[in-house]
């Protein structure tokens, strides 16, 4: 196999094999088939890039087909949003089609299947059908209506179509095999009654085809050669082929279904149902909220089409499910914005700086490079005056070693400007610094070529001229969830992991060149990150969204929390060995404070599990976490692991472990009864007064 062939993903390899076996290239046809029941999200972007990418690679048409078979959940708003997202991503479709275009043809085929004894009307309740269908390990049984006559089936199905029956009274089922090992083949539903208004066909139909029936047949009508689905449709392939068998004409292209692993991204949810819940419960501000993983949300946040396409290219196409770190998506975005986003200056937590030896009424216009990564980006002029804003965190009155920003007696350079030296501060009645007074070196202006301008100083700060500063609303966005897999924890609602700090709205100041910026314009706020102008901006009020930081703050936070837990475990050892009671209490307070500060549910949950072992200090750590963390509770720990922790802890030689285990059990009503006997046995031989006092207070 050549190097080029090895680089192909498995679907490309299949297509190449098909072509080599004689399949005509001009009969290649692909499709992207969204259901218009929600907005597209980043997971759909992978499928979009795959299908349209194949179309570009093989010069083959790609249809946009809306699988609009459920009017109860579908709206024109979603159709319009999907089309907008596709165009924004840079893809255009060959034909815009709808499964509803084929309702009459699908109905006609269903009539033919009834006449051929391959379909029947079932009048059971949904509960009875579920029982009759069996289980994965138990075969189904024939229902009471399976052998209705063809004439009765045709009459009932016609009545369903005409609206003669209420919803839920009848369904049309394919007659296949109630004993099949694939439960999807046990007489699946083909049609159900829905007296709903359809966004395209209005009230013309009272019955609507099920997805499994409509999808493959629509592929056949459009002569799709390669029908590409995600892995959850693997078991549907047999049914896909069965439906095709009923209508296939050997003179036409027969579609084939292939499955690939969908995109799973950490720190978010990919279920349209759950995303809809976030919207409907006003947890977010609509589908295009910049915290949402929707294409429209990412667009509003400031993502670029190129960064999303690059991300999809990097993660590739595979057959095995895996979870992609959102930091990779952010990396692709930073890489793209670094090349294209103009550099500007903004101050988001301002403190006033007065240059005491600069003329009070003087204004200079300094030349500033727009983007050092793009030679064609040119330069702009920024105003400089005696009064400036800098970031509050860029100044300390008394600086520690290795503080490379402004402090009293130390020098820094102002970006594109002069070297300044901290001289004094003005404070309010509460002792808060309100002004920093500095002096500047008149000969040190950047780019002047003077000896002073080339002098090296500890750091460079961004700034904004106070009298020219433009006030801006800045929306600081963070990840929507605190946990990397918010919808994967048994017994927990994904909403429990909402990040309460996912949006902070602040007032900042930006340089005056931004007053004419338009919605969607993207910038790098120097030293702060990438931002874009939000659509809420209007004349006199500019609104910026934080797109992404210059560095991966979450990776740093994750490392810090992991390191903090590791160091806290070392503190446990010191605490256990400490003889002085006051010192021991201080150590314990520090340990508890560290535990409380951890936000990552998965990390702290795993730490508990890892410390359930026959080691007193480890058991102490696990019990302290259960007793003090507000992120993990006893119900979140596997019962077998929790039982082992309690049992081992009550036998521990360390009194502190036994005390914590008793306290945790006392607060764990669901497991307390199971340990009454062990607690009673412990009480009969316990010698430690504190442990004994706790045991005496228990009702055992």
Q: Known binder of ligand: residue 477? A: no
272 is in an annotated binding site: yes
Instruction: Report the residue count for the chain.
Output: 700
Residue 34 near residue 68 (C-beta atoms within 8 A): no
Helices (H) and strands (E) in the chain, counts: 22, 29
Q: Is 67 annotated as a binding residue?
A: yes
148 known ligand binder? no
Q: Does residue 666 sit in helix, strand or coil?
A: helix
236 in a labelled binding site: no
Task: Give the residue numbers annotated as catalytic, written as ranges.
Answer: 35, 262, 272
Question: Is position 42 annotated in a ligand binding site?
Answer: yes
496 DSSP assignment: G
- Rg of the chain, C-alpha, whole Å: 33
Q: What is the 3-state secondary structure (H, E, C) of 207-237?
A: EEECHHHHHHHHHHHHCCCEEEEEHHHHHHH
**Is 400 buried (19+), middle (13-18) or exposed (0-12) by CB count in 10 A?**
exposed
Please provide residue 76's backbone torsions phi and psi, each rounded to the nearest 5 degrees. Answer: -65, -30
User: How far is 546 from 525, CA to CA, in rounded Å?
Assistant: 10
**Annotation-wise, does 391 bind a ligand?**
no
d(CA 299, CA 277): 21
Helix H or strand E segment including 651 = none
315 is in an annotated binding site: no
- For residue 399, give the DSSP letter: P
C-alpha 41 chain-centroid distance? 9
43 is in an annotated binding site: yes
- Contacts for 145 with CB less than 8 Å, ≥ 6 apart: 120, 121, 122, 123, 124
Q: Is 348 annotated as a binding residue?
A: no
C-alpha pair distances (Å), 163 with each of 100, 115, 151, 194, 243: 18, 21, 19, 9, 26
Pairwise CA distance, residues 140 & 122, whole Å: 15
User: Which of left, alpha, beta for 223 (phi over 0: left; psi -120 to 50: alpha)?
Assistant: left
Question: Is position 199 annotated in a ligand binding site?
Answer: no
521 belongs to an annotated ligand binding site: no
C-alpha count within 13 angstroms, C-beta hemisphere, residue 387? 11
263 is in an annotated binding site: yes
Centre a 10 Å sphere on the Cβ of residue 365 and count the other Cβ atoms it contains. 10
Binding residue per annotation — 41? yes
Q: What does the alpha-carbon distance between residue 548 and residue 84 come to, in Å, rounded to a whole number?
A: 23
* C-alpha span between 355 and 357 (Å, rounded): 6
Is 262 annotated as belonging to a binding site?
yes
User: How far is the C-alpha of 658 from the C-alpha of 343, rounded, in Å?
Assistant: 59
DSSP class of residue 534 equals: -
Annotated binding residue 271: yes
- Distance of CA 59 to CAs 55, 613, 657, Å? 5, 60, 69
Beta strand pairing status for 411-414 and 395-396? unpaired
Residue numbering of the annotated binding site: 35-37, 41-47, 67, 211, 230, 262-263, 270-272
Residue numbering of the annotated binding site for L-glutamine: 67, 211
Residue numbering of the annotated binding site for ATP: 35-37, 41-47, 230, 262-263, 270-272
């Amino acid at each position: 196999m050549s190097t080029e062939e090895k680089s192909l993903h498995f679907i490309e390899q299949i297509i190449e094999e098909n072509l080599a076996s004689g399949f005509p290239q001009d009969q290649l046809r692909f499709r992207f088939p969204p259901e218009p029941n929600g907005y597209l999200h980043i997971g759909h972007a992978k499928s979009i890039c795959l299908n349209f990418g194949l179309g570009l690679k093989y010069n083959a048409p790609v249809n946009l087909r809306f699988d609009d078979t459920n009017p109860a959940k579908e709206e024109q708003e979603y159709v319009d949003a999907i089309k907008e997202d596709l165009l924004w991503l840079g893809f255009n479709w060959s034909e815009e089609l709808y499964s509803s275009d084929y309702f009459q043809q699908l109905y006609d085929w269903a009539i033919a299947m009834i006449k051929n004894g391959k379909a029947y009307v079932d009048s059971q309740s949904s509960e009875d059908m579920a029982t009759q269908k069996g289980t994965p390990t138990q075969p189904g049984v024939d229902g009471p209506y399976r052998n209705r006559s063809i004439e009765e089936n045709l009459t009932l199905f016609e009545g369903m179509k005409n609206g003669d029956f209420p919803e839920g009274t009848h369904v049309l089922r394919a007659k296949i095999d109630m004993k099949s090992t694939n439960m999807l083949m046990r007489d699946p539903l083909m049609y159900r009654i829905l007296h709903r208004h359809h966004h395209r066909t209005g009230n013309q139909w009272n019955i609507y085809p099920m997805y499994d029936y409509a999808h493959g047949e629509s592929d056949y009508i459009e002569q799709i050669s390669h029908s590409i689905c995600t892995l959850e449709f693997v078991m549907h392939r047999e049914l896909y082929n069965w439906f095709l068998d009923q209508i296939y004409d050997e003179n036409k292209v027969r579609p084939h279904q292939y499955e690939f692993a969908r995109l799973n991204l950490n720190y978010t949810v990919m279920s349209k149902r759950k995303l809809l819940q976030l919207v409907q419960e006003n947890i977010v501000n609509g589908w295009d909220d910049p915290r949402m993983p929707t294409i429209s949300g990412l667009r509003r946040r400031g993502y670029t089409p190129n960064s999303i396409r690059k991300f999809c290219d990097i993660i590739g196409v595979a057959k095995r499910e895996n979870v992609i770190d959102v930091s990779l998506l952010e990396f692709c975005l930073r890489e793209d914005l670094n090349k294209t986003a103009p550099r500007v200056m903004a101050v988001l937590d301002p403190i006033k700086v007065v240059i005491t030896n600069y003329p009070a009424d003087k204004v200079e216009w300094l030349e500033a490079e727009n983007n050092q990564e793009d030679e064609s980006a040119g330069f702009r002029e920024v105003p400089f005056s005696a009064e400036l804003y800098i970031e509050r965190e860029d100044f300390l009155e008394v600086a520690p070693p290795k503080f490379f920003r402004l402090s009293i007696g130390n020098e820094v350079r102002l970006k594109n400007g002069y070297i300044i030296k901290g001289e004094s501060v003005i404070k309010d009645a509460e002792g808060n610094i309100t002004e920093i007074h500095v002096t500047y070196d008149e000969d040190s202006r950047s780019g002047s070529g003077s000896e002073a301008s080339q002098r090296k100083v500890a750091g460079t700060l961004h700034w904004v001229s106070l009298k020219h500063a433009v006030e801006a609303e800045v929306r600081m966005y963070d990840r929507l969830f605190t946990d990397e897999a918010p919808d994967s924890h048994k017994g927990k609602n994904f909403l429990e992991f909402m990040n309460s700090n996912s949006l902070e709205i602040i007032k900042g100041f930006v340089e005056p060149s931004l007053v004419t910026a338009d919605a969607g314009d993207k910038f790098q706020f120097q030293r702060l990150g990438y931002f874009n102008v939000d659509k809420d901006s209007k004349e006199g009020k500019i609104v910026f969204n934080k797109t992404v930081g210059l560095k991966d703050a979450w990776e740093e936070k994750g490392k810090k929390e992991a390191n903090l837990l590791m160091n806290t475990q070392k503190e446990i050892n010191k605490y256990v060995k400490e003889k002085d009671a006051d010192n021991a209490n201080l150590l314990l307070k520090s340990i508890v404070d560290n535990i409380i500060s951890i936000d990552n549910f998965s990390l702290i949950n795993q730490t508990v599990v890892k410390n359930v072992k026959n080691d007193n200090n480890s058991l102490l750590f696990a019990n302290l976490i259960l007793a003090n963390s507000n992120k993990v509770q006893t119900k979140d720990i596997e019962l077998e692991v929790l039982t082992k922790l309690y049992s081992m802890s009550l036998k521990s030689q360390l009194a502190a472990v036994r005390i914590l285990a008793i306290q945790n059990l006392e607060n764990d009503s669901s497991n307390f009864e199971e340990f009454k006997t062990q607690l009673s046995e412990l009480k009969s031989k316990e010698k430690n007064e504190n442990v004994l006092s706790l045991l005496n207070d228990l009702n055992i």
